[in-house]
Structure 1
């Protein structure tokens, strides 16, 4: 007479239930419907489910098209943006410039730095930016004749300056810069200083004062 099969012990029953729960959690995690990964089990050499899948893809020498990251639903390959994501330096600088209202000053500084490229080398040699403020740039000519010539060229220079301000770093996006007015001055009078600094090409006291 054969013996009746014995019932599993409590430890064996717990082990079977744990394996079944691990398989269910692993299936839910791979499908993107689970909230937490399954605990490592004795199967698969203790690898997490998503690592097992990637290991199989690497062993076959092909990328898994369904690999969208652990716990992500179909159609998504990465989590959405959060406030913990790193931010680039250029983005932070642009935000600070906009917050503090430095855009106009930075754009004007770019015009001063690229003055020769904007108006040309010949004009830049006889005309320098003396000061600037909101909506106005004051130019100093090397001679009275050049001051007169610059007044004739004023519409062209204003258009070039406006274009440079529009494309300069820090310029407000979505709207053009404010109209720019040029104020052209002739050569400065003698300062009677022992060591003065003059413009290149100026004739000094022989020139007329504008």
Structure 2
């Protein structure tokens, strides 16, 4: 060996006790060898370039609030109107008043028609007169044009179609005395 060439100890960089030199050496060695095989990034938020990143911001993997999950479920299946109508059925006394609600109950809703049953023919007549007001109030709660028509049905009355003195194709009970 000639005295002009540095020895192995002299060619090494200065060694530090803090471990930084070891980390740098490992980084240089892995960069020369191509580095460890990289895994595909997990799903998560995307950058503008399209690559996934992980971070402290919420994403679809996080636990979701029940309200948000139910809202998405209701929207996906189109249950908004059905739930609002069930809310109307539950709040019927509040919407029409206690006196009217004591004698009238909603039975069904389909295609803009609300069917309401009354407990007497007098209340059926009264509700027919109140129908435009009730439709307006319901549409304020549900959205314009949701309820188009209120069909009023009277009470369930006894039928005269069966029995000892019934006649087939008859006109029903009539005054036969006189």
Q: Given the two structures, how large is their TM-score scaled by the length of structure 2?
A: 0.57
Residue ranges of structure 1 left out of the alignment (5+ in a row): 1-6, 23-77, 167-175, 193-210
For residues 104-144 of structure 1, the C-alpha deviation after alignment (integer angstroms, 9 at most, x for no partner) is 11111111111111101000011111222231110111222
Q: Is the 8 A contact 2:138 2:147 kept in 1?
A: no
Show the counterpart of 1:150: 127
1:15 aligns to what? 17
Corresponding residue SS for 1:162:
helix
Aligned-partner SS, 2:102: helix
Cα distance in 2 for partners of 1:191, 1:89 equals 50
SS in 2 for 1:153: helix
- Where does residue 136 of structure 2 map in the other structure? 159
Does 1:95 pair with 2:72? yes
Structure 1 residues 181 and 144: alpha-carbon distance in aligned structure 2, compared to 1, 3 A threshold: same
- Provide the aligned length of Structure 1 versus Structure 2: 122
Unaligned runs of 5+ in 2: 1-8, 25-54, 161-178
Cα-Cα RMSD: 3.1
Asked if 1:188 corresponds to 2:165, the answer is: no
Q: After TM superposition, list the pairs within 5 Å mapping 1:1-210 onto structure 2.
A: 13-15=15-17, 18=20, 79-166=56-143, 176=144, 178-190=146-158
**Deviating runs (4+, > 6 A) in structure 1?**
none
